[in-house]
Chains A and B, each alone.
Chain A
Amino acid sequence: MDIKDLIIDDRERGVFRVHRSSMTSDDLFQRERELIFSRCWIYLGHESEVENPGDYRRRTVAGRPLFFARGRDGQVRVFLNSCPHRGALICRRDAGNTEVLQCFYHAWSFNTNGELIGVPDQEAYGPNFDRDELGLKQPPRVESYRGFYFVNFNPYAEDLVTYLAGAREYLDLIMDQSEEGMRMVAGSNKYTMKANWKLLVENSLDGYHLVPTHQTYLDYISGLGSDDSGQTAASRIVGKARALGNGHCVIESPVRNGRPIAHWHPLFGEEAREPIAQVRQRLVDKYGEERTFRMADTSRNLIIYPNLVINDIMAITVRYFEPLAPDNMEVTAWHLVPREESESMLATRLDSFLTFLGPGGFATPDDVEALESCQIGFRATETEWSDISRGMLRPAKSTDELQMRGFWRQWHANMQGHSHTNVQDAPVEEAEAALALADD
């Protein structure tokens, strides 16, 4: 099948369909590796994960073994985790602190700036041996925004801020919630789904599935006595969807069940009422009522194209997924928290996370099941198309599928070899622009 035919995008009829070979084909998977994961800015990690000089973490990003470290000079650097000598992994622990990284194979040593500082029996190489040439290799491009580090394997890529397009404002909206900056708490959720990675993109931004798929979560929450229990679940789930350019998309909804910043809910307990009110006041003083309303009284699920999801909901989770095969991915999720929060507010926030999120939560296991179920369903190859048309002919709500179309249009353009700049010129659905949250 020709790549240009993989998506049907009929704006007149309001029909958007994706051919399911996009989620099963080995050829397309290889093509994604080249045209998406080797050309886009791909999330690596957050600066708070390497707080002190000498701290390092290793990670697989876009198929490459990498690690990042904070040098003695305080700079964060990213390295390809392969010895320039003969290839062995230099960094063989997931995290730690060190001054020197020594390859175990032939004992070449590097400092945390990546410089080659030791070669046993160096005389054997002769007088032209140049240590400067053989330092640890870095990805062609590394840039950060508000502490989030991204890598790009295309040396000619546009800069990160340009790439982030409309998603930048949403990152600001999340990071500005903290007075002293955000940090990742220790511990991560690492799990595998036997499903195509794009299914998790769709799922992470899918307001439509919440009520049918996550009924047990909604029952649990309303059983605890929520402040809006008089309404039906469906009526509460409204909001808007936006395509942010370059494939980044968001759904934004009025808060349902409380947010540690800064919308109290009975789940948090009486003792949290006052501290949350104080945080809210601080936000109002600093940002005004309107921006505070967005920070405190709305939730958002944000995708930074192609494979980073930041859900700013009952807690803030940063979720990265690494495609392993057309039908397999590894997911890692972290929990982002404000540095200044008190012990008790942190405990409340951690607890809030666990109600819904994570592979032991009351919702994520259901999503794993849903995605794997889709992937098995794709074996019925005569059912060729997935339908993603919802809301195409109206101002899109968060229960519609505009945000998924935004992602898929970018994917389709990239797979045909177009760069991000080309795609920005492509028509996007603008209907949502006029839709205010209050109208829902």
Chain B
Amino acid sequence: MTTTNQPTLREQVEDFLFREAALLDDWRLDDWVDLFTEDARYIVPTTDLPEGDPKRDLVFIDDDITRLRARAVRLNSRHAHREYPWSRTRRFISNVRVTETDNGELAVNSNVLVYRFRAGEGAPYVGSIEYILRRDGDDLKIAYRRAVLDLEALSWHGAVSIIF
């Protein structure tokens, strides 16, 4: 009877992902960047090469922590014109799968639907996100975040101007 109130591993991860989604929808980007480890990587492959490797192939985004921070600075400024004023977004995270790796990290996959509304138009970004999460005390940190779009092209938004 001792385990009923203990969240499962998946529930812990889901709580973390839901918190991340809320930070992004609320445009609290500095807090969002704080979720990452210093050696983290954030990758978005192109729509025509979902398996793209930034060392070899063209991708949309390949940020280390320095560029990730710069991305947050940019989006927080009034000069990221595609996102000034900010779009409204709403993120839906589902189908979360968690595997614990041999070195104690968590390999996570989730389905993601982000609706983005701006300038009289609204359309979704749809895809999946692969994470490697690292334990940090009682909390988790993102060491790797690879967001793969299912879209065939950036036909609706013209860019990946938000964090997907």
Contacts and interface: CB of A to CB of B under 8 A. Distances in A.
Contact of B70 (A353, A358, A362): A362
Contact of B60 (A94, A194, A359): A359
Nearest to A354: B62
B137 interface: no
B54 A350 contact: yes
Given A189-B60, A350-B58, A365 B46 contact: no
Interface residues of B, number: 38
A215 B48 contact: no
A187 B59 contact: yes
Nearest to A194: B158
Interface in A185-229: 185-194, 213, 215-216, 219-220, 223-224
A359 B79 contact: no
A134 interface: no
B59 A193 contact: no
Contact of B154 (A192, A215, A350): A192
Interface stretch (A17-25, A239-247, A366-374): A366-374
Interface residues of A, number: 40
Interface in A351-383: 351, 353-355, 358-360, 362, 364-366, 368-370, 372
Contact of A365 (B44, B49, B67, B80): B80
Interface in B34-66: 44-49, 52, 54-62, 66
A215, A343, A369: which has the most chain B beta carbons within 10 Å? A369
A191 B153 contact: yes
Contacts of B45: 187
B155 interface: yes
B159 A354 contact: no
A193 B158 contact: yes
Nearest to B83: A365
Interface string B78-115: 01111100000000000000000000000000000000
B158 A353 contact: no
B58 A190 contact: no
B70 A188 contact: no
B52 A358 contact: no
B161 interface: yes
A94 B37 CA distance: 38
B77 interface: yes
A351 B80 contact: no
B161 A347 contact: no
Contact of B81 (A187, A189, A213): A213
Contacts of B73: 216, 219-220
B80 A360 contact: no
A220 B57 CA distance: 23
B46, B54, B61, B152: which has the most chain A beta carbons within 10 Å? B46
A401 B57 CA distance: 34
B52, B58, B59, B62: which has the most chain A beta carbons within 10 Å? B58
Given A335-B58, A366-B80, A370-B81, A330 B153 contact: yes
A252 B60 CA distance: 26
A369 B79 CA distance: 11
B56 A358 contact: no
Nearest to B54: A350
Interface string B147-162: 0000011111011110
B74 interface: yes
Given A188-B46, A192-B154, A364 B159 contact: yes
A190 B70 contact: no
A368 B161 CA distance: 10
A319 to B, nearest CB: 12
Given A350-B58, A351-B62, A360-B160, A190 B80 contact: no
B66, B156, B161: which has the most chain A beta carbons within 10 Å? B161
Contact of B158 (A191, A351, A355): A191
Interface in A170-195: 185-194
B154 A191 contact: yes
A190 B161 contact: no
Given A213-B81, A366-B82, A369-B82, A187 B46 contact: yes
Interface of A: 94, 185-194, 213, 215-216, 219-220, 223-224, 330, 334-335, 343, 346-347, 350-351, 353-355, 358-360, 362, 364-366, 368-370, 372
Closest 10 CB pairs of A and B: A360-B60, A187-B58, A191-B154, A365-B159, A190-B153, A365-B82, A360-B61, A359-B159, A187-B49, A216-B74
